[in-house]
Amino acid sequence: MRRTLFVTIAGLIFAFTFFYVLAWPSTISSRSPIDNTTGFNKVKPGESLYVGMGPFQVVGRKSVTIVSIRLHDPSPGIEFVDARLDRAGPGYVALGAPGEDVVPSIQRLPEAPGAVLRSGDGGGFYVTFTVNDPGSYRFRGIEVVYQAGWLTRTTVLGPSVTAVIPSS
């Protein structure tokens, strides 16, 4: 009886160790909750808006691949346009000559879907979106869908974003 119990426990320890060393998936950890909010006032209809989301860091021993990014809990009328990966973190792409337009810098960043991030990598995402009609709009961060080993996982990065198009 004791030998059977010992063999069972040893087998479980071996299986867990094997799983942890070879297959334990990594995660994308965020330090920016969706409770934080940033906003745009007096937006023009159809204007492209850019917002930095994150920062994040890959935690674990394996690489992750970004599958897709979408707005989390968006108001009707918000159109998601694009997501770019900034390995330095949101806000750092704007560092440059004073008065330099940030938009070309963002557009030079790699597209986020398809990006492979290694263990310990960090950064942020720049999301482009538009709104077309007068009113108040919001979304509660972004959903990042990523492949971590054999699992497909989703995480939500903040902050929440608001945009207001005034009535004419």
CATH code of the domain covering residue 154? 2.60.40.10
Nearest to 82 by CA among 138, 124, 126: 126
Domain count, the chain: 1
pLDDT digits 0-9 by tens, 10-20: 777 766 665 55
Domain contains 148? yes
Determine, yes or no, domain membership for 68.
yes
Specify if 17 maps to a domain: no
How far are the Cα atoms of 91, 100, 146 from residue 96, in angstroms, in the given order? 11, 7, 31
- Strands 78-86 and 122-131, bridge-based pairing: antiparallel
Assigned domain for 117 exists: yes
Instruction: Print the domain residue range for 52.
Output: 26-165
Residue 94's pLDDT band (cuts 50, 70, 90): very low
**pLDDT for 23:** 52
pLDDT at 83 over 90: yes
Task: Count helices and strands (H / E) in the chain.
Answer: 2, 11
- Report yes or no on 64 lying in a domain: yes
10 found inside a domain: no
